[in-house]
Structure formats: structure tokens, C-alpha cells
Structure 1
Amino acid sequence: MIRDRAGMPAITGAGDDLRDKIRHERRIELAFEGQRYYDVRRWKILEDTMGDAIGVNIVKNEDGTFSYTRKVIQERIYTEKVYWQPIPLSEIEKNSNLTQNPGY
């Protein structure tokens, strides 16, 4: 309904293909609204979307032009902990059935 109103084609597909389309559309539609941080963690796709930090070596050549070389400036290794938020101690104290999330 929303896509029709916006003059956009309907999304077709199933399974992983449909999920990828929905994730892409959510990324575009909610850009700059602070949702991506939580989405990549909820979907557990952090390693796929936030790889190593890449920088660029820039060298001025003798002829006045510049050469650019991509360089990994930080290797990122993600543990299971990044997919969870800590449960506040005050909440754990209120309910003895709660246990802290892994890594906290």
C-alpha cells in the first residue's frame, strides 16, 4: 500500500531474497534516524555490514598527480557480546529469574 502510494513497484520474492530486500529498504527509508545500529545487531549481520576500518594512503607523485591506496587501519573482530545490551542491575535485583546477558 505505501509503495503503491509512492509510485514504487511491489516487492516480490521469498525467503532470503525477500529478507535482503526488506533490510535494504529499511536501511534507505530509515537513514539518519538511528535505527541501523539496532538493526544490524538484531539481525546479527554486524560482521557482514561493518567490516574492517579502511583508510587511504595518499602519495603525491613526481608529476603532480596523486596515488591512492586503500589500507586496513583497524581489523574488527566481533564477539557475541556486541549483539546484546546489559540488563541493568536494578532490574536483576527486582527479578531473581533474570540473568545477565552474555559478556556483561
Structure 2
Amino acid sequence: MIIVSNSDIISAFLNLIIQSENEYQFALELQRAEEKKTQDVLHMLELDNLNYKERAKLATQLKNIRQKRRRYKDEVEELECIVQFKKENKNLVNLLTQLLGKQ
């Protein structure tokens, strides 16, 4: 049986709250980078005079880019709730930090 202390639980929760904001920003940047890649591929398809093989290669790249973007977007949406909670409850986060210090 693993025994977890109260301070471990409070610390884990605070770490989740604090780290979520950095992870949110990072995932948002990665999502935007994939969106830029999507636009680059679409512009190549639109403007470049490509043969069938080149278009097929770009279509595969586009599929992979969109899948990565979806993963980052899902992560952004998941973390957004935690980041919003932190913004709306700054006082609670401070109180939990103080409580952790007392534990």
C-alpha cells in the first residue's frame, strides 16, 4: 500500500495548475506552427505546377501535418480549462501555496 501525504497531494495539484500554463502556451505555439505548414502545403498545391507524384507526396504531408495539429489542438483545449481556472482563482492558488508551506 502506497501512502501519499497531504503535502504531496497539494504539491501535485499546484504543479498541475502552474505547469499547465506553460504546456498550454507551448501546445498553442506548436498548433500554430502546424497551421502555418498547412497553409504552405496548400499554397504549393495551388501555385506550383506539380505532377501527380508530387501532389500525392504533398497530400501525405498534409495528412500528417493535420494529424499533429489535431493532437496539439486537443491538448490546448484540455489545458485551456485549467489555465482559465488558475486565472479565475489566483487567490486560491496563493492560499494553497501557503498551505503547502505549512504542511
* TM interval, short-chain normalised: under 0.3
Query: Which one has a larger percent helix, Structure 1 or Structure 2?
Result: 2
Query: Which one has a larger percent strand, Structure 1 or Structure 2?
Result: 1
Q: Taking structure 2 as the reference length, what is the TM-score of the superposition?
A: 0.24
Q: Taking structure 1 as the reference length, what is the TM-score of the superposition?
A: 0.24
Structure of greater relative contact order (alpha carbons < 8 Å, 6+ residues apart): 2
